[in-house]
Amino acid sequence: MTAPARRGVFITFEGIDGSGKSTQARALAERLGAALTREPGGSEGAEEIRRLLVEGEAARWSAETEILLFTAARRDHLEKTILPALERGAVIVSDRFADSTRVYQGAARAALREKVDLLHAAMIGLEPDLTFVIDTDPDVALRRGLARHSGEDRFESLGAAFQHRLRTGFLALAREYPQRVRLIAGDRAPDDIASDIATQAQAFLAGRAHG
Ligand code: ADP
Ligand code: TYD
């Protein structure tokens, strides 16, 4: 898809489960008065697909099927929520986006990065302007995540070794996209992390306004 004439700004948060990304996405959206959305989900149809993905047995879907389901959800989210926000000139903050598929399905669950990239190019074709990867020790993050008992723990149930592979994947992603990805230390008090992120986001937005 060709990107539309965009006036808005698309900011994403990424990281392993329990890293603190939702907390930080919420805090930044509030501080900027931005729209807040999430993946999998973020539109009515995508939220329905989310339930198929986050509930049930870990072995319920193969990595290949997951790529298709996450991309289907993302396409609906893009059409119904993200592009309309960008077209009206809004700042929109998403708790996860395509980098999660690159790392979870493309690297950590299976080595399927090429297929992830093909499908992304064909069906999504949009990259965030700015991405914050919250980097948190997997053992700390896993305890935080499971403590929630949300019933949405299909991926957390894959265990600590999987979370360590994910962290490696997100660190590699930060090296792959140094222009847009900012690595944020997640083992700090939530308010310290939030001010760090707000400073970086505001500098980025000011740069765009003047550039
Ligand atoms: P994620 O979206 O990455 O899974 P959340 O933001 O939902 O993470 O946080 C997971 C849990 O950890 C929540 O209970 C949240 O209140 C808590 N939490 C978030 N950030 C921190 C932090 N910096 N220090 C300690 N606990 C945190
Ligand atoms: P999320 O609700 O962000 O979970 P958490 O708050 O625990 O981080 O995402 C649900 C799960 O889906 C999470 O384990 C990450 C996974 N996921 C993928 O595997 N691929 C993707 O493309 C996306 C968006 C999420």
- Residue 59 CA, ligand 2 centroid: distance in Å: 15
Number of domains in the chain: 1
Nearest CA to ligand 1 atom 7: 22
pLDDT of 6: 57
* Local structure of residue 2 (DSSP, 8 states): P
Average pLDDT rounded to a whole number, residues 5-31 = 93
CB contact at 8 A, 95 and 36: yes
What pLDDT score was predicted for residue 146?
A: 65
How confident is the model over 119-156, as pLDDT tens digits? 999 999 999 999 999 999 998 988 886 666 676 666 66
Segments forming the whole domain that contains residue 116 = 9-209
Nearest ligand (C-alpha, residue 141):
1
Q: Does a structural domain hold residue 2?
A: no
Q: Average of pLDDT values for 149-177? A: 84
Identify the pLDDT of residue 59: 86
Distances (CA, A) of 108 to 89, 163, 182: 35, 8, 21
Closest CA to 141 of 1, 54, 14, 29: 14
pLDDT at 94 over 60: yes
pLDDT at 103 over 70: yes
What pLDDT, on a 0 to 100 scale, did the predictor assign at position 188? 96
At residue 158 the predicted structure's pLDDT band, cuts being 50, 70 and 90, is confident
**In this structure, is residue 50 part of a structural domain?**
yes
Atom of ligand 2 nearest to the CA of 145: 7
161 is a domain residue: yes
Establish if 80 belongs to a structural domain. yes
Q: What residues line ligand 2, using a CB cutoff of 6 Å?
A: 17-18, 22, 39-40, 53-54, 70, 95-96, 100-101, 104-105, 145, 155
Whether 103 contacts 70, CB under 8 Å:
no
For 22-62, write each residue's pLDDT tens digit: 999 999 999 999 999 999 999 999 999 999 999 988 889 99
Closest atom of ligand 2 to 39 CA is: 24
Please report whether residue 4 resides in a domain.
no
What is the torsional sign of CA 47, 52, 58, 61? negative
CATH number at residue 140: 3.40.50.300
Ligand 1 pocket at CB < 6 A:
15, 17-23, 144-145, 148, 189-190, 193
